[in-house]
Amino acid sequence: MQQIDRQNLTIQKWVTAVSVILLVIKFAAYFLTHSVAILTDALESIVNVAAGFIGVYSLSLVARPRDIHHPYGYGKAEFISAAIEGTLIGAAGILIIYKAIMHFINPVALHQLNEGIYLVTATALINLVMGIICVQTGKRNNSVALIASGRHLQTDTLTTVGIIAGLLLVTLTGYLWIDGAVAIIFGAIIIYNGYKIVRGSVSGIMDKADMELLGKMAVVLNDNRRENWVDLHNLRVIKYGNKLHVDCHLTVPWYLNVHEAHSEIDKLTALIKDSFGSSLEMFVHSDGCMPFSCHICNKQDCSERKFEFKKKIEFTLDNISRNQRHGLT
């Protein structure tokens, strides 16, 4: 198991353990107060616990090495985990709205609101800290599952803050309907956030291009371009958990021998790994330059040049992603 995978799994285990404790605290606050808004928070915590265990399982899968049956590894398990988590979040939101509507129909008196507010405030602070740690670590380690868990915890924190505000209004005004109204509002927010998580995970499963990542790669390649890199095109990136699979076509002078061309590929691979992390595999196809390449090639002292150099073509997100060699037209 790589160090990054081990770190992701350890943090997810801590998130799961803390979620169980917070679930108990929130239900204790609900039984103290009989607040449907606090019940909203408690029901979402059930999702937190379920999602935590799913996240632990998916990250343990991701940490497995590639094998003959899974040549690209188990990284896609993170997207499936995030999809399940988003679905559970949406289901919790629907249940929350249902409970709030029932509260309007059959209102229940509230008790010990101050104690309940203290308890849920403590859970909000803990969730905030855990959420920040998850998102920062997930971004640093390219872990979709960890980022999804962190954003879920941050959403849970915002939900709790809104619920606390609603309970303070109930305390100040004595209007019980505010409790149900707050639950409905945040139930809708929870459903929307669940939808966003599911949409993002489906994009990952479908290998949707990460335009931001491709744009950063284009900048790095252009800024560190070597003389023998006449052209680079058909650049594609696929994510497998915290691992990146990159392939592209690199055009080099046609007269380089196999070893010289491979040396250019090695330098390209080293540049990408230095800039985007070592959890990366690259497949680079080398192309020999064509006569029309002379117009955009500024290689000095080229004995095989057919036409004069006219214009340098910068590597951009648009042209390195296309499956065609660069030229003046």
Q: Which CATH number fits domain 3-205: 1.20.1510.10, 1.10.3720.10, 1.20.120.140, 2.40.50.220?
A: 1.20.1510.10
CA nearest 154: which of 140, 133, 175, 177? 133
- Cα 88 from Cα 3, distance rounded (Å): 30
- Cα 167 from Cα 37, distance rounded (Å): 8
Q: Which CATH number fits domain 211-321: 3.40.1370.10, 3.40.1410.10, 3.30.70.1350, 3.40.50.620?
A: 3.30.70.1350
Task: Give the pLDDT confidence of 251-288 residue by residue, as tens digits.
Answer: 999 999 999 999 999 999 999 988 887 677 889 999 99
CA 205 to chain centre: 12
Residue 135 CB contacts under 8 Å (≥ 6 apart), including other chains: 146, 147, 150, 151, 154
Can you name the residues that pair with 247 across neighbouring β-strands? Answer: 236, 283
Per-residue model confidence (pLDDT) at position 111:
82
Residue 284 CB contacts under 8 Å (≥ 6 apart), including other chains: 247, 248, 249, 250, 265, 268, 269
The residue ranges of every structural domain in the chain are 3-205, 211-321
Reduce the DSSP state of residue 286 to 3 states and report it: strand
CA nearest 117: which of 200, 11, 212, 37? 37
Task: Give the pLDDT confidence of 240-254 residue by residue, as tens digits.
Answer: 766 788 999 999 999
Per-residue model confidence (pLDDT) at position 251:
93
Task: Give the pLDDT confidence of 120-171 residue by residue, as tens digits.
Answer: 999 999 989 998 998 888 888 777 667 877 887 887 787 788 888 888 888 8
Task: Flag whether pLDDT at 234 surpasses 80.
Answer: yes
Per-residue model confidence (pLDDT) at position 141:
79
Mean pLDDT along residues 307-317: 88
pTM for the predicted model, two decimal places: 0.64
Per-residue model confidence (pLDDT) at position 242:
62
